[in-house]
């Protein structure tokens, strides 16, 4: 009911997608939160030094898709604590925008509104691919406004996005263009990792083509040794702390490993921009990545 009624073909496609979303939720609890048990978790406290080095609290988790084994630092935060998704929500916002036709393709341009912002890369016309990679908040706020609350809520419900362990559906109560930034919507690092795992295998309730487009936007490094795909996030918590995210996967020898890094500083002005990625790469290097041997 949420698709533009242009042709019968599109209506039929919408019906199929609604059925697909129901089937998706029937299996959604198979994502990491279920498979992460004490039997397949290695708690690696040697990774604490990377958090201490940058004076940050947080958690890191890596899922070996081949074995189902998790390597985790700070298991309690990874599994039990929820935080605003910040710009990692652009993964979902992109998928919903594409699926509903609000974003006609990843090359669709939304003109710059002329407002000068602190990040120069935002101050120009951008298409989806470009906006995703520079994490342009204004582009995705406009996408959310065009999607509207009703359609957005439908797809969040279909994904059970931010529903948590108790499976309590999140309801949009704040502004449609800020709810992922204002601490009303929260999800655990475990949920965020589970989402990108489903995305990698095209198992989310969206057309495969659209999942591929988002994955393409996430791919930042691709060479003979590895592929590294991710989405970052940076926002302020209810306590006024700076919060940083990186969620995605690294692939070596066609074998994917899924990761999530979630970090927090009591300093609201803490610059997460370079620290997040440096920490991620330092941790992955310690765990044996980047040489094509994993």
Q: What are phi and psi of 77, to 5 degrees?
A: -70, -40
Comparing CA positions, the residue from 171, 77, 90, 79 lying closest to residue 129 is: 90
Residue 258, classified by CB atoms within 10 Å of its CB into exposed (0-12), middle (13-18) or buried (19+), is buried
Q: If you search the block for the tokens 């070596």, which residue do you land on?
A: 252
Does residue 87 have an active-site annotation?
yes
Distances (CA, A) of 12 to 19, 164, 205: 11, 32, 15
Catalytic residue among 15, 32, 35, 87: 87
What is the secondary structure of 198-257 as a DSSP string? HHHTT-SSS-HHHHHHHHHHHEEEE-SS-EEEEEEEEEE-TTS-EEEEEEEEEEETTEEE
Between CA 209 and CA 217, with CA 213 as vertex, the angle to 5 degrees is 170
Which tokens is 75 given?
A: 């298991």
Ranges of H-type helices in the chain: 8-27, 32-35, 48-53, 75-80, 90-100, 128-133, 137-159, 189-200, 208-218, 272-286
- What are the residue numbers of the active site? 87
């Amino acid at each position: 009911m949420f698709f533009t009624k242009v042709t019968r073909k599109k209506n039929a496609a919408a019906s199929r997608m609604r059925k697909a979303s129901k089937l998706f939720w029937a299996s959604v609890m198979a994502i990491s939160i279920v498979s992460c048990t004490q039997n397949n978790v290695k708690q690696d406290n040697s990774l604490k030094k990377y958090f201490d080095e940058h004076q940050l609290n947080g958690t890191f988790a890596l899922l070996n898709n081949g074995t189902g084994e998790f390597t985790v630092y700070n298991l309690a935060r990874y599994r039990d604590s929820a935080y605003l998704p910040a710009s990692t929500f652009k993964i979902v916002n992109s998928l919903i925008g594409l699926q509903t036709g609000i974003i006609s393709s990843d090359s669709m341009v939304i003109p710059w509104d002329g407002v000068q912002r602190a990040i120069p890369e935002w101050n120009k016309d951008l298409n989806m691919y470009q906006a995703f990679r520079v994490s342009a908040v204004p582009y995705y706020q406009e996408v959310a406004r065009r999607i509207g609350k009703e359609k957005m809520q439908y797809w969040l419900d279909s994904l059970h996005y931010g529903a948590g362990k108790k499976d309590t559906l999140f309801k949009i109560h704040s502004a449609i263009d800020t709810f992922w930034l204002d601490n009303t919507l929260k999800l655990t690092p475990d949920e965020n990792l589970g989402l990108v795992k489903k995305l990698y295998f095209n198992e989310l309730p969206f057309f495969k083509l659209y999942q591929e487009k988002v994955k393409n936007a996430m791919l930042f490094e691709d060479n003979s040794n590895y592929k590294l795909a991710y989405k970052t996030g940076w926002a302020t918590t209810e306590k006024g702390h700076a919060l940083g995210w990186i969620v995605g996967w690294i692939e070596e020898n066609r074998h994917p490993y899924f990761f999530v890094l979630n970090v927090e500083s009591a300093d609201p002005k803490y610059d997460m921009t370079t620290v997040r990625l440096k920490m991620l790469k330092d941790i992955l290097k310690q765990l044996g990545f980047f040489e094509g041997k994993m």
